[in-house]
Amino acid sequence: MSEAPTYEISFYFRKILVPIDGSENSLKALEFALDLAKHYGSKIVVAYAKPKGDSRGDPFERARIKIAREGLNVQYKVIEYDPSNSNTPSTLVREIIEGGYDAVVLGARGLSLTTDIPIGSTALSLVINSPVSVFIIR
């Protein structure tokens, strides 16, 4: 990696959270975040929030391939929550606050079956409740 960027804007993108679920939109969001990282020296954390006991496949599998092509160092994080008293959006907001992120980049819709809506509930909830800038990628 070259010298640290001197752009003033890089201050706003020091640490970026990229929630993924394996959907195409979440992978597009990852590509956007990786581009920010290349230009501004951002640290990227790719996170998967899942209910305890959920045994779906590895959502990081396709993400790792994209990241390997870019040659960037990225942290992966699985965040488990109890679905009886929490949900994906509130878990991610808690992570944003506790993790000291400067921005969030996520896909407009995840793996939901409904294609009629342009923005999913998780993305909408993060736009409303996140204390930092949120980029919604379509």
Domain boundaries, the chain: 11-137
Q: pLDDT digit string (tens) for 13-42?
A: 999 999 999 889 999 999 999 999 998 899
In degrees, to the nearest 5, what angle opens at C-alpha 34 toward C-alphas 3 and 113? 170
Four-point Cα dihedral 126, 129, 134, 138, nearest 10:
30
- What percentage of the chain reaches a pLDDT higher than 70? 89
Cα separation, 69 vs 13, whole angstroms: 21
Decide if pLDDT at 114 tops 90: no
What count of other Cβ atoms lies within 10 Å of the Cβ of residue 19? Answer: 29
pLDDT above 90: residue 110:
no
- The class that CATH gives domain 11-137 is alpha beta
Q: Is the predicted pLDDT of residue 2 greater than 70, yes or no? A: no
pTM of the model: 0.89
pLDDT at 127: 96
42-61 per-residue burial string, b: 16 or more CB within 10 A, e: under 16? bebbbbbbbeeeeeeeebbe
Q: 85: which DSSP letter?
A: T
* 17 phi and psi angles, rounded to 5 deg: -95, 130
